[in-house]
């Protein structure tokens, strides 16, 4: 379980193998806290650490995760958002993020301002039912609030500290991002579907 409050790291190396990729991620801000087997979110995708060398964390990425996320676009030196799982004694600074990326989405427009940046993102149509005005969403693992919803497009207002501490500042129009929709919306949908099915029977 994550919160979407991330820090920055860099892809140090990628080894592309037949049955998946090995990612080496330089993460000096968190490496000393990581144990073998720990779950870590990389741009919102939950991966398990299988090796630690100094400040570099090693992850195996399955073919499914490569196909479903923006990991397939990574190259050496790519800046990524990284987060350790939420601790029982910690506090929830963002929202509940599971690290299970639902889909990739496309940046349609970016407006840079002094007080905030505004991102318009096109969401795949099957997932639009999970987005609501002022609802939560995780973009590249960053917990954000939806500022506006128009058809398949959502607008996000990103404050300067988030731009500074994440890879949001590197995004350009037509770039792809990882998206995880709010788990509460998914549970609500399932409850309503089960209720409807019970009424039909």
Same-domain pairing of 75 and 116: no
pLDDT of residue 96: 78
Same-domain pairing of 63 and 115: no
Which pLDDT tens digit goes with each residue over 64-110? 999 999 999 999 999 999 999 876 555 555 677 889 999 999 999 99
12: CATH: 2.40.30.20
Which band of pLDDT confidence, cut at 50, 70 and 90, is reported for residue 168? very high
pLDDT of residue 85: 87
Burial category of 115 from C-beta neighbours within 10 Å (exposed 0-12, middle 13-18, buried 19 and up):
exposed
By residue range, what is the domain housing residue 77?
7-83
Within a domain: residue 61? yes
Within a domain: residue 200? no
Within a domain: residue 59? yes
pLDDT of residue 193: 80
Distance linking the first and last C-alpha atoms of the chain: 36
Within a domain: residue 92? no
Number of domains in the chain: 2
Predicted TM-score of the model (pTM): 0.86
Residue 187 CB neighbours (<10 A): 10
Which band of pLDDT confidence, cut at 50, 70 and 90, is reported for residue 21? very high
Give yes or no for a contact between 134 and 146, defined as CB atoms under 8 angstroms apart: yes
Which pLDDT tens digit goes with each residue over 23-38? 999 999 999 999 999 9
């Amino acid at each position: 379980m994550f919160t979407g409050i991330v820090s920055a790291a860099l892809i140090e190396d990628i080894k592309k193998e037949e049955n998946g990729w090995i990612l080496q991620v330089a993460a000096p801000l968190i490496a000393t806290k990581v144990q073998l087997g720990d779950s870590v979110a990389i741009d919102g995708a939950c991966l398990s650490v299988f090796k630690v060398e100094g400040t570099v964390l090693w992850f195996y990425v399955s073919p499914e995760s490569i196909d479903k996320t923006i990991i397939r676009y990574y190259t050496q030196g790519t800046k990524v958002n990284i987060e350790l799982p939420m601790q029982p004694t910690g506090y929830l600074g963002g929202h509940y993020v599971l690290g299970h990326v639902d889909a990739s989405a496309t940046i349609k427009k970016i407006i840079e301002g002094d007080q905030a940046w505004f991102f318009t993102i096109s969401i795949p149509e099957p997932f639009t039912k999970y987005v609501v005005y002022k609802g939560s969403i995780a973009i590249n693992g960053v917990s954000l609030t939806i500022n506006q919803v128009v058809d398949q497009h959502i607008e996000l207002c990103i404050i300067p500290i988030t731009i500074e501490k994440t890879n949001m500042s590197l995004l350009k129009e037509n770039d792809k991002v990882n998206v995880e929709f709010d788990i509460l919306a998914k549970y609500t949908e399932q409850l309503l579907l089960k209720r409807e099915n019970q009424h039909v029977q």
